[in-house]
Chain A
């Protein structure tokens, strides 16, 4: 990675190397209502502000992940507030994330299912929500999640186990209600 004269990675290089990963994390942590481009912009603005204080004690990916997590969390809070006013934004943004290869019926089912998943995830404590998202949606290994979040590997598995229990309980509740 390109570094400045002080050994601090410069923002351009940071952005080029990590923006795709940051966008993936942000999209999955913030959920389907998020505008990923705005989130990535916000994350790198925060990174630019904090960059002079980055001493390289943590890996750059870990540092960026933590910024992403905070920004995504903040975004979810704002989104919850916004939903009090309007559902328009939600519908408008969901339009833009439909994968092109799905038929309209498939896409509708996928979207509904995705919404249900995030409704369930939003009822969990953040620590469980994050781990299950990184493991199941981002397909990271336990070790990779530990490296990103700063948790111990054993703690990751414990959180994942508890998150799954809660998720299953919610899935059962949802399917009972639908039948």
Chain B
């Protein structure tokens, strides 16, 4: 007896069996189809690619721990910084303004350097307090004792200004530093080394047909360059090719899942391989997503499109979406009448 398909069951108002994914259902108006469409939209996440892998790996190696601070704490820190900054800048401006006023109001100092030093120490005293009639040395030593004890920051700054004046007085003019020497030239370029390793792996894989040896060389690349290499994505592509040759589909799919590919150029081959592996593992929704990407914008009539058309038709058929599957099969036969899957396509259409 013929098993009822998903479409038959839906027509008779039955629920989808629990083992069938909603996300693999064709679009429709039923609650389950709506739920499937919603879940499909949530299934798209940004792939954790080589760049992210390298960044998090570096953070792990540096043992740095990133913890975003709670907003309340961030606000508290920000406001205290602003407050502290305000107090500091007020103090600095006060200190820098006061000595110059003092100096302007002072009588012409004797050439000895000592009184000048004391003058700056007494800078917080108002200029009017320092009588121009008094001898220079006598009153200038007083103000340091008169400073209020509650202003330690200002006192420290006064001392700092005094120190600066002292050092300016004795220090010779700064010599002009010679420009920094350029960094020493790197030895053999790591890029050259990386490309040599990769070339060996590709030669083993494509010329010698030794995928295991290619994987061993790629492991060496990984050990030397980690995920930070310039050619890491190329190495990953070669690794995927080697894994597929060896029939290690699960590992290949894990690598493919971790990357995003464009539906142009070399990315197309990776995308179609990923779609086929996903479909093979029963992950029809994500497989259909990849096939759709490949077939979206007028693709060239090449082997990748051929595989994508056939793959999408099969996925749609398995999901019970026969109308769309038939369209793909017809499109396939029209474009590739003698294609690799032409016989299977005709058989499927006759069924």
Question: Is B34 touching A175 in the complex (CB atoms < 8 A)?
Answer: yes
Contact partner of A21 among B46, B254, B293, CB < 8 A? B254
Question: Is A139 touching B21 in the complex (CB atoms < 8 A)?
Answer: yes
Interface residues of A in 77-120 (CB under 8 A from B): 82, 85-86, 96-97, 99-101, 109-110, 113-114, 116-118
Chain B: minimal CB distance from A50 (Å): 14
**Which residue of the partner chain B has the closest CB to A106?**
B41
Question: Is A135 touching B34 in the complex (CB atoms < 8 A)?
Answer: no
Q: How many residues from B make CB contacts under 8 Å with A? A: 50
Contact partner of B45 among A24, A40, A44, A45, CB < 8 A? A24
Docked pose: A175 CA to B33 CA in angstroms: 13
Docked pose: A100 CA to B46 CA in angstroms: 9
Question: Is A40 touching B56 in the complex (CB atoms < 8 A)?
Answer: yes
Verify if B176 is at the interface (C-beta below 8 Å from A): no
Interface residues of B in 12-66 (CB under 8 A from A): 18-19, 21-23, 31-32, 34-39, 41-48, 52-53, 55-57, 59-60, 65-66
* With contact pairs A20-B254, A36-B48, A136-B43 given, residues A116 and B38 touching in the complex (Cβ less than 8 Å): yes
Verify if A67 is at the interface (C-beta below 8 Å from B): no
Q: Write the B61-87 contact mask toward A (1 if CB under 8 angstroms, else 0).
A: 000011010111000000000000000
Question: Is A97 touching B285 in the complex (CB atoms < 8 A)?
Answer: no
Docked pose: A39 CA to B300 CA in angstroms: 40
Chain B: minimal CB distance from A175 (Å): 7
A residues near B, CB below 8 A? 11, 15-16, 19-21, 23-24, 27-28, 32, 36-38, 40-41, 44-45, 48, 82, 85-86, 96-97, 99-101, 109-110, 113-114, 116-118, 135-139, 141-142, 157, 160-161, 164, 167-168, 171-172, 175
Chain A contacts of B281 at CB under 8 A? Answer: 139
Question: Is A171 touching B21 in the complex (CB atoms < 8 A)?
Answer: no
Contact partner of A137 among B37, B42, B296, CB < 8 A? B42
- Binding site of B, secondary structure by majority: helix, strand, loop or mixed? helix
Question: Is A142 touching B19 in the complex (CB atoms < 8 A)?
Answer: yes
Docked pose: A137 CA to B24 CA in angstroms: 11
* With contact pairs A20-B53, A110-B41, A167-B35 given, residues A82 and B71 touching in the complex (Cβ less than 8 Å): yes
Listed by A's residue number, 27 A-B pairs whose Cβ atoms lie within 8 Å are: A15-B56, A15-B57, A16-B53, A16-B222, A20-B258, A21-B257, A27-B45, A28-B45, A36-B46, A36-B48, A44-B60, A45-B60, A45-B65, A99-B260, A100-B260, A101-B296, A114-B41, A117-B38, A117-B39, A118-B42, A136-B39, A137-B39, A139-B43, A139-B286, A164-B18, A168-B32, A172-B31
**Which residue of the partner chain B has the closest CB to A165?**
B15
- Binding site of A, secondary structure by majority: helix, strand, loop or mixed? helix
Chain A: minimal CB distance from B63 (Å): 9
Docked pose: A171 CA to B293 CA in angstroms: 28
**Which residue of the partner chain A has the closest CB to B68?**
A38
Verify if B229 is at the interface (C-beta below 8 Å from A): no
Contact partner of B18 among A48, A110, A160, A168, CB < 8 A? A160
Docked pose: A96 CA to B52 CA in angstroms: 13
Chain A contacts of B36 at CB under 8 A? Answer: 136
